[in-house]
Structure formats: structure tokens, C-alpha cells
């Protein structure tokens, strides 16, 4: 009974994680629908009153100056194109009907914030504050869960290619011959193998580029943008910069309108998730590069300064345990100066598949532990020495701690 429970528990935990991810996605979808309904009911009446007032003023102006509506509309469009003054007279879809409000809340919780529609009523602005707090927090958690799962999937795929490469090169047969003498065998060597962080970054970058190219091919004929403008919009939207100078799905009518809006929503969602993951992986590479530069600078200071040279000689001559009691700063100097090889060893490695087989869940416990230790004022002791992956809370901390757990000596 005990053995079957041990076997079933990992699968149960895996199912719980996937169920939590699906439940969060469903919650966000329902949250968007409810938010769109609330914002539409609050802001739609004000929009209708503003449209009626504008129509009356427009009709009075054309009647007083004996100008036709078509001529005045064409003149305003030409003025907008010439001066880029932001006057919008094109037939745009309503901002605060249900579909417009749904698009708006999507830009809110994803933190894109195009700015093509903003609440103008006091109740709508107050509701936005509380709605954004919950929605943005849930969406960030969704991105973190997606980040973990996409890296897990890529780790499995890269491991499969690694196994095929080993089989083609004949290393698997040689390992089979040594398996009788090795207690761990080939399986452990494959489990301890880690995919390169640069491969992960290249795959995520390629996926983001493919999604951007597909979306741009759709935006060109539908929105009337050039291909460069479409790519520009994709980056601004997927990176959640959200300037708002170009915004998709804003015309009153489209050919196959429902299909286009659904495709637009899915492409933006996929693009944001991929580019979010790419940014987090790239930030780890940048952090490793900065730590490598700092270590190089500190080691050069060890060699140049007479005091630091003595400290470094003392560190190399004294056992680390004795040096920790006598001169704690000397141990720190030795650790920094002699960690170049460790830095090179972990800089190109990522997540061990063995750890993914053991547990596939977001490191919320790590985040809670960091927050608790920070609140209590206690120093956080990292299990890896100056590996460049310590400290931080959030998506970057999740990946950092995952990498750190697989970077220590086994």
C-alpha cells in the first residue's frame, strides 16, 4: 500500500498543477466576461450621450456653413493624415459595447493598456482600480504558470533530441556495456543532463517571431497596414508596451468579423506569453553576464591590491572551514576568485530533467519563504555559492531558483 501511494502521489501532484493552470485560465476568462459586462453597463450610456452630442454639433456646423457631411468628413481625414493630430473621424466600432469592453479589459489585465478607450465616469474609474488589482495579479500568475510549463515542455523535447543524438553516435551502446558496473546507469546520466539556456532562448525567440509574422500577415489585408507597421504593432502589443498609435480590431465592420476578432485575441495571447517567457530567459542570461563581469573585476582587484593579494594567498593556503572561523572575509574572497569555472559551468545549463520528473510545479513556496525571511529581517542563505541565481521574487526568482537547484554539485 505504501509503495502504490508513493507511485500515485507524483501523478496526483502533476494533475493538480495542470488542473490549477486550467482553473486559473477559466477564472481569467470568466473575469474578463464579467468585467466587460460591468464596464459596458457603466460606460456605454455616457458614450451614447457623447455620440449624440457630437452628431448634433456636426450637423449644426455643416448646416450653418453650408458644407456637406461627406466633404467635411473627407477634410478632417486628410487633416488627420497630414498633421497626425489624433483627430479620429473614421467609422470606428463602439468603444463600450460588450465586444469593445471585452477588448478593453483584456488590455487591462494583460497590462498592455493601448489607451484607445478609457473610463470617463467616476464609478468606472474606481471600479477599474479594484478590477485591475485582481486581474493583473491573476494574469501575472498565469504567465508564470505558462512560463514553467513551456520550459518543462522544451526540456523534455531537448532531452529527446539529446537521447537520439546519443543513440546515433553510439554512446548509448557503450553506456549499456558499463551499466553493470555503474549503480546508476545511463538513465541517471540522462536525468542529470541539462538543456542549454541559449537553446531555450533561441526556441522562444523563434516562436515569438513566427507568431509575429503570422499575425502581421493577417493584419496587412484586414487593417490596411504595411508589413513593417504590422510587425511594429506585434512587438508593441506582445511586449505589453502598448503605445496605442496602432490598435487592431477597431473598425466598425470586418469581413468575417467574429473569426478575425477571435484570431486577433488568440494571437495576442500567444504572443504575450511567448515574449514574456523570452524576456525572463534573456534576463537570466544578462544577469549571468553581469555577474561574470563583476567576478572578473573583483578577481583583478585581488591580483592588484597588496591587501587583497594577502587575503587571497591566505584563502588558498587555509582550509575554508578554518578560514571561516579566523577571517570570514577571506573565505568570501576565495569564493569569488575561485568561482570562474563554476560560473562557466552553470552559465550554459538550464533545468535538469530529473528535477522536472520529481516535481513540476511553480515555486510559490520559494517565493513565500523569501518574503517571510525578508519580513523577519533574517538573511537568506542560498544553497549555491555565488552562482548568479540567488535572490529575487516573482517570475525571475522562479527560474533563478530552478536553475540554482540544478547548478550545485551532486
Q: Do 272 and 309 sit in the same domain of this protein? A: no
Is 205 within the bounds of a domain?
yes
Is 191 within the bounds of a domain?
no
How far apart CA 277 and CA 141 sit, in angstroms, is: 13
Q: Cα angle at 342 between 337 and 343, to 5 degrees?
A: 85
The pTM of this model reads 0.69
Closest CA to 354 of 397, 395, 398, 405: 405
Dihedral sign from CA coordinates of 181, 183, 185, 190:
negative
Q: Do 395 and 331 sit in the same domain of this protein? A: yes
Task: Output the average pLDDT for the chain.
Answer: 75
pLDDT of residue 65: 84
For the ranges 116-125, 181-190, 322-331, 352-361, the maximum mean pLDDT occurs at 116-125
> Where residue 170 falls among pLDDT bands split at 50, 70, 90?
confident
Checking if the pLDDT of 64 tops 80, the result is yes
DSSP characters over 70-106: HHHHHHHHHHHHHH------S-BPPSSSHHHHHHHHH
Cell numbers found for residue 334: 576565495
How far apart CA 406 and CA 383 sit, in angstroms, is: 11
Is 154 within the bounds of a domain?
no
**Region of poorest pLDDT, from 33-37, 64-68, 336-340:** 336-340
Is 330 within the bounds of a domain?
yes
Cell numbers found for residue 267: 494571437
How far apart CA 148 and CA 399 sit, in angstroms, is: 8
pLDDT of residue 36: 96
| Angle between the N-to-C axes of helices 340-347 and 257-304, in degrees from 0 to 180, rounded to the nearest 10 | 170
pLDDT of residue 156: 87
> Where residue 352 falls among pLDDT bands split at 50, 70, 90?
low
Checking if the pLDDT of 144 tops 70, the result is yes
- For 93, half-sphere exposure in the C-beta direction (CA atoms, 13 angstrom radius) is 19
Checking if the pLDDT of 225 tops 90, the result is yes
Q: Do 355 and 313 sit in the same domain of this protein? A: yes
Q: Do 263 and 326 sit in the same domain of this protein? A: no
**Residue 91 near residue 252, CB atoms below 8 Å:** yes
| Angle between the N-to-C axes of helices 2-64 and 122-169, in degrees from 0 to 180, rounded to the nearest 10 | 130
Cell numbers found for residue 43: 460606460
Is 235 within the bounds of a domain?
yes
> Where residue 226 falls among pLDDT bands split at 50, 70, 90?
very high
Q: Do 271 and 309 sit in the same domain of this protein? A: no
Q: What is the pLDDT of residues 245-298, one digit of tens each?
A: 999 998 888 988 889 999 999 999 999 999 999 999 999 899 989 999 999 998
Checking if the pLDDT of 361 tops 90, the result is no
Three-state secondary-structure class, residue 92: strand
Q: Which of 280, 295, 315 is the last residue of a domain?
A: 280
Q: Do 275 and 313 sit in the same domain of this protein? A: no
pLDDT of residue 94: 84
**Region of poorest pLDDT, from 21-30, 173-182, 278-287, 299-308:** 173-182
Q: 246 lies in which domain range?
A: 197-280
> Where residue 337 falls among pLDDT bands split at 50, 70, 90?
very low
Assign residue 230 the CATH number of its domain. Answer: 1.10.287.70
Q: Do 319 and 401 sit in the same domain of this protein? A: yes
Closest CA to 256 of 215, 221, 214, 216: 221
Is 331 within the bounds of a domain?
yes
Q: Cα angle at 383 between 377 and 387, to 5 degrees?
A: 105
Q: Which of 264, 280, 296 is the last residue of a domain?
A: 280
Q: What is the pLDDT of residues 379-388, one digit of tens each?
A: 544 444 444 3
pLDDT (mean) for 118-144: 96
Q: Do 274 and 234 sit in the same domain of this protein? A: yes
Q: Which of 280, 314, 336 is the last residue of a domain?
A: 280
Three-state secondary-structure class, residue 26: helix
Q: Do 210 and 275 sit in the same domain of this protein? A: yes
pLDDT of residue 134: 96
Overall number of domains in the chain:
2
pLDDT of residue 70: 81
Q: Do 309 and 273 sit in the same domain of this protein? A: no
pLDDT of residue 315: 47
How far apart CA 45 and CA 31 sit, in angstroms, is: 22
Is 119 within the bounds of a domain?
no
pLDDT of residue 307: 52
How far apart CA 189 and CA 203 sit, in angstroms, is: 24
Q: Do 367 and 314 sit in the same domain of this protein? A: yes
* 251 phi and psi angles, rounded to 5 deg: -75, 160
Three-state secondary-structure class, residue 251: strand
Is 95 within the bounds of a domain?
no
401 vs 133: which has the higher pLDDT = 133
Strands (E), 198-344: none
pLDDT of residue 63: 85
Amino acid at each position: 500500500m505504501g509503495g502504490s501511494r508513493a507511485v500515485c502521489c507524483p501523478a496526483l501532484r502533476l494533475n493538480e498543477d495542470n488542473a490549477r493552470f486550467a482553473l486559473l485560465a477559466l477564472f481569467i476568462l470568466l473575469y474578463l466576461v464579467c468585467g466587460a459586462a460591468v464596464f459596458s453597463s457603466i460606460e456605454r450610456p455616457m458614450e451614447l450621450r457623447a455620440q449624440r452630442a457630437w452628431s448634433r454639433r456636426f450637423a449644426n456646423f455643416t448646416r450653418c456653413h453650408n458644407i456637406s457631411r461627406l466633404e467635411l468628413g473627407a477634410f478632417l481625414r486628410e487633416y488627420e493624415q497630414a498633421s497626425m493630430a489624433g483627430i479620429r473621424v473614421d467609422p470606428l466600432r463602439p468603444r463600450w459595447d460588450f465586444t469593445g469592453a471585452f477588448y478593453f479589459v483584456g488590455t487591462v489585465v494583460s497590462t498592455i493598456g493601448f489607451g484607445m478607450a478609457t473610463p470617463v465616469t467616476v464609478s468606472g474609474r474606481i471600479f477599474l482600480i479594484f478590477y485591475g488589482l485582481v486581474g493583473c495579479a491573476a494574469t501575472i500568475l498565469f504567465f508564470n504558470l505558462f512560463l514553467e510549463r513551456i520550459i518543462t515542455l522544451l526540456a523534455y523535447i531537448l532531452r529527446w533530441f539529446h537521447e537520439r543524438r546519443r543513440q546515433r553516435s553510439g554512446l548509448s551502446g557503450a553506456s549499456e556495456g558499463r551499466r553493470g558496473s555503474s549503480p546508476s546507469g545511463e538513465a541517471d546520466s540522462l536525468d542529470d543532463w541539462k538543456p542549454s539556456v541559449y537553446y531555450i532562448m533561441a526556441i522562444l525567440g523563434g516562436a515569438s517571431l513566427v507568431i509575429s509574422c503570422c499575425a502581421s500577415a493577417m493584419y496587412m489585408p484586414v487593417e490596411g497596414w504595411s508589413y513593417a507597421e504590422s510587425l511594429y504593432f506585434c512587438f508593441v502589443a506582445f511586449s505589453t508596451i502598448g503605445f496605442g498609435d496602432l490598435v487592431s480590431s477597431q473598425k466598425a465592420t470586418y469581413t468575417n468579423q467574429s473569426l478575425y476578432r477571435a484570431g486577433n485575441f488568440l494571437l495576442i495571447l500567444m504572443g504575450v506569453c511567448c515574449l514574456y517567457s523570452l524576456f525572463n530567459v534573456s534576463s537570466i542570461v544578462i544577469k549571468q553576464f553581469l555577474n561574470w563581469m563583476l567576478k572578473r573585476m573583483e578577481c583583478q582587484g585581488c591580483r592588484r591590491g597588496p591587501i587583497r593579494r594577502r587575503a587571497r594567498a591566505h584563502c588558498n593556503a587555509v582550509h575554508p572551514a578554518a578560514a571561516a572561523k579566523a577571517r570570514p572575509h577571506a573565505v568570501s574572497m576565495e569564493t569569488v576568485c575561485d568561482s570562474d569555472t563554476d560560473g562557466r559551468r552553470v552559465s550554459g545549463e538550464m533545468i535538469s530533467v530529473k528535477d522536472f520528473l520529481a516535481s513540476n510545479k511553480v515555486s510559490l513556496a520559494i517565493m513565500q519563504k523569501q518574503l517571510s525571511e525578508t519580513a523577519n529581517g533574517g538573511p537568506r542563505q542560498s544553497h549555491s555559492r555565488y552562482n548568479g541565481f540567488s535572490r529575487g521574487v516573482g517570475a525571475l526568482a522562479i527560474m533563478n531558483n530552478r536553475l540554482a537547484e540544478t547548478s550545485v554539485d551532486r
